[in-house]
């Protein structure tokens, strides 16, 4: 930010992603004392950003807006290539290289929808952090020679999306039955379970962040709802 405006500004993103992951719909906010019109910031920033990062739009937002804590939901996509090598896509997808049982993956995905404790789908966390999250949609779709896993939820535990994709891959290749989703979500003794595979970050893309018509800071929500403020 200093290179663009001469200021030291904290840039706050809507969602944190692992190193090597991608974003098509990341949202950020910052405060600036410069007199640059809000709609010109995209142009100013794009002059100094690396060629593989671009600001699509800039606008002024209400003072209460917070890109992370006002988000209603986030949409992630994980891409699994089932065909042969493709150097033009493998930077943005994980290549498995063999057909998958998409029907089995869909049955497993259906059990992930709703509010659950996703500890077994997170990084191996130390301590007793809150790992309850709500997923609105988990879809598995074949698109030519790849399988796309689209997940929409309030927020994600660190590593959760990559482990969900790994779990569905294990189901698709017959390594786990679809019913294992319920076991991983409900077991009180997760330490004794074999947690799902974590797929590489390169196949993961943040597709969109939504704020709804009326802004609401989840930090001001009821205590039982505040688990949604922690994101991937």
Residue 10 located in a structural domain: no
Residue 229 located in a structural domain: no
In 22-107 the beta strands, taken as DSSP E runs, fall at 22-23, 28-29, 73-81, 94-95
Domain span at 102 = 73-208
Residue 223 CA to residue 196 CA, distance in Å, equals 30
Q: What local confidence, expressed as pLDDT, does residue 150 receive? A: 98
Residues of the chain with pLDDT under 50: 222, 224-232
Q: What local confidence, expressed as pLDDT, does residue 232 receive? A: 47
Q: Maximum Cα–Cα distance for the chain, whole Å? A: 59
Domain count, the chain: 1
Residue 14 located in a structural domain: no
Residue 177 located in a structural domain: yes
Residue 183 located in a structural domain: yes
Q: What is the CATH number of the domain that holds 96?
A: 3.30.70.660
Q: What local confidence, expressed as pLDDT, does residue 124 receive? A: 63
Output the pTM of the full model: 0.87
| Residue numbers annotated as active site | 18
Residue 159 located in a structural domain: yes
Q: What local confidence, expressed as pLDDT, does residue 225 receive? A: 47
Residue 217 located in a structural domain: no
Residue 164 burial (C-beta neighbours within 10 Å; 0-12, 13-18, 19+): buried
Residue 39 located in a structural domain: no
Q: What local confidence, expressed as pLDDT, does residue 228 receive? A: 42
Contacts of range 134-137, beta carbons closer than 8 Å, 24 or more positions apart: 134/228, 136/73, 137/113
Q: What local confidence, expressed as pLDDT, does residue 81 receive? A: 97
């Amino acid at each position: 930010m200093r290179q663009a405006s001469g200021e030291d500004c904290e840039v706050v993103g809507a969602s944190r992603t692992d190193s090597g992951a991608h974003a098509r719909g990341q949202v950020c906010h910052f405060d600036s004392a410069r007199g640059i019109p809000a709609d010109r910031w995209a142009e100013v920033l794009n002059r100094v950003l690396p060629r593989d990062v671009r600001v699509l739009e800039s606008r002024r937002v209400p003072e209460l807006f917070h890109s992370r804590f006002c988000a209603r939901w986030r949409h992630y996509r994980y891409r699994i290539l089932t065909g042969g090598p493709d150097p033009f896509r493998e930077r943005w997808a994980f290549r498995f290289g063999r057909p998958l049982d998409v029907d089995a993956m869909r049955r497993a995905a259906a059990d992930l929808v709703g509010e659950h404790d996703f500890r077994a789908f997170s990084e191996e966390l130390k301590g007793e952090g809150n790992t309850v999250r709500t997923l609105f949609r988990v879809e598995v779709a074949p698109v030519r020679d790849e399988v796309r896993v689209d997940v929409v939820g309030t927020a994600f535990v660190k590593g959760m999306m990559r482990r969900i994709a790994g779990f569905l891959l294990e189901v698709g290749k017959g390594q786990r039955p679809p019913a294992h989703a319920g076991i991983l979500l409900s077991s009180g003794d997760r330490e004794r379970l074999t947690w799902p595979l974590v797929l590489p970050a390169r196949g993961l893309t943040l597709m969109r962040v939504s704020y709804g018509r009326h802004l609401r800071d989840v930090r001001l929500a009821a205590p039982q709802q505040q688990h949604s403020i922690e994101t991937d």
